[in-house]
Structure 1
Amino acid sequence: MADMTVKGAALAAALAGNFADLPIYDRRAECASRDEIRALQLEKLKAQVAWTYERVAWYRARMDELGVAPADIQTLDDVRRLPFTDKSVLRDTFPYGLFAVPMEQVVELHASSGTTGKPIVVGYNAHDMDVWSDCIARMVQMAGVVPGDRAQMAFGYGMFTGGFGLHYGLQKLGCTMIPAGSGNTERHIAMIEDYGTTVLVATPSYALHVCEVGEKMGYDWEKSTLRVGLFGGEPCPPALKAEIESRMHIVCTDNYGLTEVMGPGVSGECLAARDMQHIAEDHFLWEVVDPATGEPVGEGEVGELVLTPLDKQAIPVLRYRTHDLTRVVCEPCRCGRTTARMQKVRSRSDDMLIIRGTNVFPSQVEDVLSGIEGVTPHYRIVVDTQDGLDRMAVHVELKPESFSDSFEAMDAFRRSIEEKLKGVLLVGCKVRLVEPGGIERTTGKAKHVEDLRK
C-alpha cells in the first residue's frame, strides 16, 4: 500500500503508525485488563448457562445426560463440561426448537439459504438487537469509519444477516446508510459518485468487480469520495485485499461472524494489525480446540474456533463449533485495544479436499497464485474422478497484459504454475488458463471449489 493515496486524515495517520488519536467506540470494554475481561466473561457465562438450561429443552436434556447443572459452572474452564452445538442441532430443531423466548418477543428472524438442507433459523429480541448493533458499531470504528460517513450497502437485504447487521450497526455509529442492495454494478458506481459515498460494504470479490467495471467505464477511483471498504461474507486473501486497495485507493478491512451465534460483528480488523481481528470478548467466550478430539490446543496454536455467545436471549447457543480454523493471541494491540485477536480465517475443517490421500485447502491455492505475476485473484478448483482416481484442475484467470497469442509462451506459463502448485500441495494438478474476466463474478460469496466426485 506504499503507493496508495489514502483519503481521510485519520486513516492516513493510522497507516503511518499513529494510532493514539484514533477513536475507540467502547473504551471500557475494548481496553479492559485481561483479569477484568475474564471476570466479566465468567459472570455472564454463569447467567447464560442458567438462562439456557431453564428455557431450552434440548440443552436441558443434553446437560442432564452429562450430569452437569448450571451451578457446576464456577470457572471459565468449566465451559468444557457443557455440550458442543453444531449446525445439525439447529436443523434438527427447525424452526423454533432452540428459542428461549415466546415468539411475540422476537422482533426479527434471519436464516441461512438452506441449499444443503433445512435452513438455519435464528431470532433476536430487542436485547439481542442492541447487542448486535453495538458489536457492529465498534467493529466498523476499528476499520476507520466515523460518524457522518455515508455507507453504501452492496450486500443483499433479506434473510442473510450481513446486510441488515451492518446496516443497524453503521446507523448506530451515526453513519448515513445508502441501502443500494446487491447487483446492478453500474448503478452502484453512479451512486458512489452522486451521493458522495465514503464506505462500501460488500464481499471482496464483488468489490473487485465494482472496481473493474468502473475502470472500464473510465471512472477515476483515486478521485472518488470512497475511502473505506468493509468486507465480509467470504475470506479475503491478502493479495486480493492489496489489489483492491491499490486500484480503488481505499483501505479495506475484514470482519467475522456467523448466523448461528449472531451474524457479523463477532470480530473485526483494526488498522494496526491487518492480519488479525479483535474478538468482542465481553459478548463471546472463545475456545480453540483440536477438530478431531474437541480438546483445547495450546495458546496461540491453530485449531477449530468454538464460540459461546454470552448475551444471547432469543436463541442461546452453547459451545458452537464453527469449523473455522484459526489461532488466538491475547497480548495487547498497538491500536490500544486489549481484547484477544484471532487470525483471519482462511480455511475450514470441513472444506478440506482429500486428493489421492493428500489434504488440500483452497487457501493453499490462493497463497500460491498470489505470488505469481500476471494472474488475477479469481480462480476455480474442479475435482472429479477418472478410472477410480481423483483429479484436480485449477482454473486460473490471467490479467490482460499476460494473455498471449503464442501457444508456446502460454503453455510454458501454465506448466510453471502447475509446478509451483505441486510444490506446495504435494499432489499434481492440471492448470487451465482462463482469459481475463473468464471466471464468473457474483454479488454474493465467491464459489472457488466444484467437487464433482459426489
Structure 2
Amino acid sequence: MDPNGYWNPRHETLPRPHLEELQLTRLRAAVARARAAPGPQGRLLREAGVRPEDLTRLDDVRRIPFFTRDAWMDAQQAAPPYGGLTAAPPDAAVRRHLTSGTSGKQPLRVLDGPEDWEWISEMWCYAFWGFGVRPRDRVFLAFGYGSFIGFWGAHYACEKIGCLTLPGGNMTTETRLRQILDDEATVVCSTPTYALRLAQEARRLGIDLAAGPVGRVLLSGEPAGSIPATKRLIESEWGARTADTAGMTELGTVFMFECENRPGGGHIIEDNFLEEVVDPVTGEPVPYGRQGERVVTSFGRGFLPLLRYRTRDLVVRAPAGRCGCGRTWDLYDGGIRGRVDDMLLVRGTNVYPRAIEAVVREHPEIDEFQIHLYTRDGIREEIDVLIEVPGHRGTDGNLAARLAKSLGAAAGGLRVGVREVAAGSLPRFELKARRVRDERIVIGGGDTREATG
C-alpha cells in the first residue's frame, strides 16, 4: 500500500501496453482453469475449441462464448446445488453466499475457498484506500450480515487495512445511528437508499448528522450511488464526502470504485477484471462514450471461474485520462447506469428508474418515493410517482406540479402523475431498493393477468 493514494501502486499506474500484457496472461490462466472444469463453462470452451495457447491478443476474448445468468440458474437446477460450476471440490470451500434475489427463480449460489476470500477482501482494499480510508479510521458497516454477499468483503478489507471495524448487523436503524455516534465512526458503508434512511431517522431523533464524526460515506449496491442529485443529498444530510462502488455476488467482490478525485465515474479494477461493453441486442463491442451492456471476465476467483459473463448492467466506458489521479485504469462514466432488464416500457416509451430517481432526488424534502405502473379502464397504461413529504417540509404547495413536469421530460415526454401519500406508508429498504410497483393488466390471446414487480 502507498500513502499517496494507491493500494497497489505498481498495478494501478501500469502503462496500458503493460496492463494489457498482464490481462492477457491472466486471461489464459482463467481459460485453462475453466476449460479443465466439468461444468457448463468448461463445456462451452471445449465445444468452441478455445484453448489458452490460442489467445494471442486481448481481442481474442471474443472467441469465448458468452455465459449468462439463465445458463447459471439452469445448471444449478440440473445439478443442484452448485451446478457443477466450481473448479475445485465443494468440500474445499470455506464460504457460501447467495444473490439477493432473482425475480421468482431460486437465487444463485456461490462458493469460495480461502485464497478466493483473501482476493475478495483485497479488491475492496483498492476501493477503500482509493477513497482515502486509512488505518486511523473507524468504519461502520450498515449491513445485515446475512447470506447476501453485500459488504462482507468490505468488512474484512477494513480489518486488513487496520481500521477499527464496526459491524452493524442485527440492529434497528436507531441503534445503528447511536453506535455510529457513540463509537465516533469516521466512515459509513451503506446502500444509497439506506444512507438516506439513516438521515431521515436522525432528523426524527433530533440528531444533527452533519455535525457528527462521519467524514466519508462509501456507497454500493444500487445505481443511485452515481446519481449526482442522490449523492448531493446524502452529502448534505451527512456533512460528508461520498464515493460510489459496484460489485456483484457472481464475482464475489467489488470491480469498480470511485477515487478521491471523484471524476464522475468509477475506475475499473483492470488488473483483476477484463471488462467489455457490448450492444445488448447484437453482442458486438461498442466504443468509448456509448452505452452498452457490461460483460466481465474475472481473473481472481479460482474456485468459481467466470468468463464473459453478461451482467445486464448498463455502462458507458471512458478512458483513464478522464481522471487526474494517475491511475491508468479506464472508468465507467456515471457508474452503473441501470440494468437492461430494469427498463420499463410504458405506452411504447422506454423509461429508466434511474432517470426518475435523478429527478426526485433534486427535491430533498421528499423522504421516499415509488414508481407505480397500472392500467386505467383496462386499456391505457399509466405511470405515477408516489412521494412522501413529511410535514410538507420546505414545500411551496406546487411541488407535485413542478415534479410532474420534470418527470415527463425524463420519461421521454410521457405524462407522469405525482401523488403525495402519507408519511411512512411506502416501503423502506436496507439493501437494494425495489421502488417499482407494476400492476398493469396484460391482455392478449384471451389471457388477462396482473403483473407485479
Provide the TM-score with structure 1 as the length reference. 0.89
CA distance in 1, matches of 2:283, 2:237: 43
User: What is the match of residue 349 of structure 2?
Assistant: 358
Query: What is the root-mean-square deviation in Å for CA atoms of aligned residues?
Result: 2.1
- 1:103 maps to what in 2? 90
Structural mapping, 1:334-345, within 5 Å = 334-343=324-333, 344-345=335-336
Residue number in structure 2 paired with 1:302: 291
Q: Quote the Cα distance in structure 1 between the aligned partners of 2:410 and 2:216.
A: 34
Task: Name 1:12's counterpart in structure 2.
Answer: none
Residue 85 (structure 1) aligned to one of 36, 51, 67:
67
1:8-44: per-residue Cα shift (whole Å, max 9, x none)? xxxxxxxxxxxx9743111011111111110100000
The 3-state SS of whatever aligns with 1:137 is: helix
Which deviates the most, 292-301 or 55-64? Answer: 55-64
State the distance in 1 between where 2:415 and 2:127 align.
41
What are the equivalent positions in structure 2 for 1:139-150 lying under 5 Å apart?
A: 139-150=127-138
Among residues 215, 218, 241, which one is paired with 1:227 in the alignment? 215
What code does the residue aligned with 2:87 have?
A
The residue matched to 1:144 in structure 2 has which SS? coil
Distance 2:364 2:175 in 1: 30
Per the alignment, residue 62 of structure 1 pairs with: 44
- Which residue does the alignment assign to 1:243? 233
1:121 aligns with one of 90, 94, 109 = 109
For 2:389 and 2:118, how far apart are their aligned partners in 1? Answer: 46
The alpha carbon displacement at 1:231 in A equals: 1.2
Contact 2:39–2:86 (CA under 8 A) maintained in structure 1: no
In structure 1, distance between residues paired with 2:228 and 2:356: 13
Is the counterpart of residue 184 in structure 1 residue 166 in structure 2?
A: no
Quick one: distance in 2 between partners of 1:331 and 1:314? 30
SS in 2 for 1:219: coil
Matching residue of 1:159: 147
In the alignment, what sits opposite 1:132? Answer: 120
> Does the Cα contact within 8 Å between 2:230 and 2:358 map onto a contact in 1?
no
Kindly state the Cα deviation for residue 403 of structure 1 after the two structures are TM-superposed.
Answer: 7.1
Deviation of 1:388 after TM superposition, in Å, equals 2.9
Counterpart in 1 of 2:21? 39
Worse overlay, 252-261 or 380-389: 380-389
Partner of 2:405: 419
The structure with higher relative contact order (CA 8 Å, sep 6+) is 1
Aligned equivalent of 2:316, options 307, 327, 349? 327
> Could you tell which deviates more after superposition, 150-159 or 69-78?
69-78
Identity of aligned residues (%): 35
1:285 maps to which residue?
Answer: 274
Q: Name the structure 2 match of 1:14.
A: none
Q: Equivalent residue for 2:443?
A: none
1:398 aligns with 2:380: no
Q: Shift in Å at residue 123 of structure 1?
A: 1.2
Farther-moved stretch of structure 1 (105-114 vs 352-361): 105-114
Q: Relative to 1, partners in 2 of residues 1:447 and 1:313: Cα closer, same or farther, differing over 3 Å?
A: same
1:348 aligns with 2:339: yes
Q: Which letter maps to 1:37?
A: L
Separation (CA, whole Å) in 2 of partners of 1:195 and 1:402: 31
Give the match for residue 252 of structure 1: 242
Report the alpha carbon displacement of residue 101 of structure 1 after superposing the two structures with TM.
0.3
CA distance in structure 1 between the aligned counterparts of 2:401 and 2:237, rounded to whole angstroms: 29
Cα shift at 1:45? 0.2
Return the alpha-carbon distance in structure 1 between the equivalents of residues 423 and 243 of structure 2.
Answer: 26
For 2:332 and 2:170, how far apart are their aligned partners in 1? 29
Of stretches 172-181 and 328-337 in structure 1, the one that deviates more from structure 2 is: 328-337
Q: Secondary structure at the match of 2:382?
A: strand
Offset, 1:275:
1.6
1:199 maps to what in 2?
187
AA in 2 matched with 1:146: R
Aligned amino acid, residue 385 of structure 1: T
Deviation at 1:102, TM superposition (A): 1.1
Contact map agreement 1:107 1:123 (CA 8 A) in 2: yes
TM-superposed CA distance for 1:73, in Å, is 1.7
C-alpha separation between the residues in 1 aligned to 2:364 and 2:191?
23
The one-letter code of the counterpart of 2:237 is R
Match of 1:4 in 2: none
Q: How many angstroms does 1:227 deviate by?
A: 1.3
Partner in structure 2 of residue 270 of structure 1: 259
Alignment deviations for residues 81-139 of structure 1 (CA, whole Å, 9 cap, x no partner): 11111111221222322011012321111111445211101111122112111110110
Q: Structure 2: how far apart are the matches of 1:274 and 1:439?
A: 34
How big is the shift at 1:154? 1.0
Is the contact made by 1:374 and 1:398 (CA closer than 8 Å) also made in structure 2? no
Pair 369,195 (structure 1): closer, same or farther in 2 beyond 3 Å: closer
Cα distance in 1, alignment partners of residues 93 and 314 from structure 2: 32
User: What secondary structure is seen at the aligned counterpart in 2 of 1:247?
Assistant: helix
Cα distance, 1:448 vs. partner? 1.5
Shift of 1:396: 2.4
SS in 2 for 1:390: strand
Comparing 279-288 and 426-435, the one that deviates more: 426-435
Determine helix, strand or coil for the equivalent of 1:338.
Answer: coil
The alpha-carbon deviation at position 189 of structure 1 amounts to 1.7
The corresponding residue for 2:445 is none
- 1:260 is displaced (CA, Å) by 0.8
Conservation of the 8 A alpha-carbon contact between 2:45 and 2:65? yes
Aligned residue pairs total: 428
User: Which residue of structure 2 lines up, in the alignment, with residue 429 of structure 1?
Assistant: 416
Residue 382 in structure 1 maps to residue 339 in structure 2: no
SS of 1:380 mapped into structure 2: strand
Q: Select between 415-424 and 47-56 the one with higher mean Cα deviation.
A: 415-424
Q: What is the DSSP-based 3-state SS (H/G/I as helix, E as strand, rest coil) of the residue aligned with 1:325?
A: strand
Q: How far has the Cα of 1:63 moved from its partner?
A: 2.5
Per the TM alignment, residue 169 of structure 1 is displaced from its structure 2 partner at its CA by: 1.1
